A and B are shown apart, each in its own frame.
Chain A
Amino acid sequence: MKRVLIVATFLGMSGAAMAEAPGGPNCGWGNMLMDGQSGLGAHIIASLTNGTSGNATFGMTTGTNGCSANGKLTYGGKSLVGAVMDEFSEDVARGDGEALTAVAVAMGVEESDRALFKQVMHDNFASLFPSADVTAEQVSERVVELMRANDQLAHYVS
Chain B
Amino acid sequence: MWPCSLRGARTPGACAVLGLLLCAAPPAPAADWSGQARAAQLSTDRQWLQLLHYTPAWRPGGFRNFVDDRDFFLSPGGAGDPGAELEATVTALLADPATQCRFPGRTLWLTARLPGLAAALPAASCPEYEEWRRVLAVDRAVLVFAASYLNSPSSMYGHTFLRFDSAAAERRTPLLGWALNFGATIPPDENGLVYAWRGLVGGYPGQFAAGPYFEKLREYSRLESRDLWEYRLNLDAAELDRLLAHVWELRDINFDYYFFDENCSLRLLELLDVARPGHDLADRFPNYAIPIDTVRAVLDAGMVAGVGYRPATRTILRHELVLLDRDERRLARRLADDAAADPVGFAALVPERQRLVAEVAYQFHRDRVVHAPPSPGIAQQNFALLQLVNRTAAAAASPPPPWPAAPETGHRTGLVAFGGGLEESRGFADLDWRVSYHDLLDPAPGYPAGASLNMARVVLRAREGGTLQLQRLDALEITSLAPRDEFFRSWSWRVNAGLERQWTAGDDVLVTQVNAGGGGTWAPVAPLMLFAFATGRIEYNHEFDRSLDLAPGLAVGLRLESAAGITLASADHYRFTDGVDRTELALRHELALGANLGLRLELVRRVGDTDRVDEAALALRYHF
Q: CB within 8 Å of B: which residues of A?
A: 2-3, 6, 10-11, 13-16, 20, 26, 28-35, 37-39, 41-45, 47-62, 65-67, 73, 75, 80, 83-84, 86-87, 89-90, 92-95, 98-99, 101-102, 105-106, 108, 122, 125-126, 129, 131-133
- B202-229 interface (Cβ within 8 A of A): 204, 207-212, 214-215, 218-219, 222-224
Extra A-B contacts (13), CB below 8 Å, given A38-B371, A93-B390: A50-B182, A50-B263, A51-B186, A52-B209, A60-B178, A65-B168, A83-B214, A93-B387, A94-B359, A105-B173, A108-B170, A126-B387, A132-B382
- B343-400 interface (Cβ within 8 A of A): 359, 362, 370-371, 374-380, 382-384, 386-387, 389-390, 393, 397
Q: Contacting B211 at CB < 8 Å: which of A14, A53, A62?
A: A14
- Inter-subunit contact B173/A49 (CB<8 Å): no
- Inter-subunit contact B170/A65 (CB<8 Å): yes
Tell me which residues across on chain A come within 8 A of B212, comparing CB atoms: 10, 75, 83
Tell me which residues across on chain B come within 8 A of A31, comparing CB atoms: 374, 379
Contact with A along B257-269 (1 / 0, CB 8 A): 1010001100000
Tell me which residues across on chain A come within 8 A of B384, comparing CB atoms: 132
**Interface: B299 (CB within 8 A):** no
A83 to B239, CA, bound (A): 31
A50 and chain B: residue at smallest CB distance: B183
Tell me which residues across on chain B come within 8 A of A93, comparing CB atoms: 386-387, 389-390, 393
B336 CB to closest chain A CB, in angstroms?
Answer: 14
- B151-200 interface (Cβ within 8 A of A): 152-155, 159, 161, 168-176, 178, 181-189, 192-193, 195-196, 199-200
Tell me which residues across on chain A come within 8 A of B173, comparing CB atoms: 98, 101-102, 105
A14 to B179, CA, bound (A): 12
Q: Is the interface of B mostly helix, strand, loop or mixed?
A: helix
- Inter-subunit contact B259/A48 (CB<8 Å): yes
- Inter-subunit contact A33/B168 (CB<8 Å): no
Tell me which residues across on chain A come within 8 A of B128, comparing CB atoms: 2-3, 6
Tell me which residues across on chain A come within 8 A of B136, comparing CB atoms: 60
- Inter-subunit contact B379/A66 (CB<8 Å): no
Tell me which residues across on chain B come within 8 A of A87, comparing CB atoms: 214
A151 to B377, CA, bound (A): 39
- Inter-subunit contact B192/A45 (CB<8 Å): yes
- Inter-subunit contact A59/B211 (CB<8 Å): yes
B224 and chain A: residue at smallest CB distance: A47
A-B contact pairs, 22 of them (CB 8 A): A13-B211, A14-B211, A14-B219, A15-B188, A30-B379, A41-B193, A42-B195, A47-B152, A47-B155, A53-B186, A53-B188, A55-B185, A66-B168, A83-B214, A92-B390, A94-B390, A95-B393, A99-B214, A101-B175, A105-B170, A105-B171, A106-B176
With A53-B188, A54-B188 as given contacts, are A102 and B214 in contact (CB-CB < 8 Å)? Answer: yes
Tell me which residues across on chain A come within 8 A of B387, comparing CB atoms: 93, 125-126
Max count, chain B CB within 10 A of own CB: residue among A6, A56, A122: A56
**Interface: B544 (CB within 8 A):** no
Tell me which residues across on chain B come within 8 A of A62, comparing CB atoms: 135
Q: How many residues of B contact A (CB 8 A)?
A: 79
B86 CB to closest chain A CB, in angstroms?
Answer: 26
Q: Contacting A98 at CB < 8 Å: which of B175, B192, B259, B382?
A: B175
Q: How many A-B residue pairs have CB under 8 A?
A: 211
Tell me which residues across on chain A come within 8 A of B153, comparing CB atoms: 44
Contact with A along B221-244 (1 / 0, CB 8 A): 011100000000000000000000
**Interface: B545 (CB within 8 A):** no
**Interface: B149 (CB within 8 A):** yes
- Inter-subunit contact A52/B176 (CB<8 Å): no
With A33-B218, A67-B170, A132-B380 as given contacts, are A50 and B184 in contact (CB-CB < 8 Å)? Answer: yes
- Inter-subunit contact B386/A58 (CB<8 Å): no
A39 to B371, CA, bound (A): 9
**Interface: B624 (CB within 8 A):** no
Tell me which residues across on chain B come within 8 A of A50, comparing CB atoms: 159, 161, 181-184, 263-264
Tell me which residues across on chain B come within 8 A of A129, comparing CB atoms: 383, 386
- Inter-subunit contact B376/A30 (CB<8 Å): yes
**Interface: B488 (CB within 8 A):** no
Tell me which residues across on chain B come within 8 A of A48, comparing CB atoms: 154, 196, 199-200, 259
Tell me which residues across on chain B come within 8 A of A51, comparing CB atoms: 183-186, 199, 204
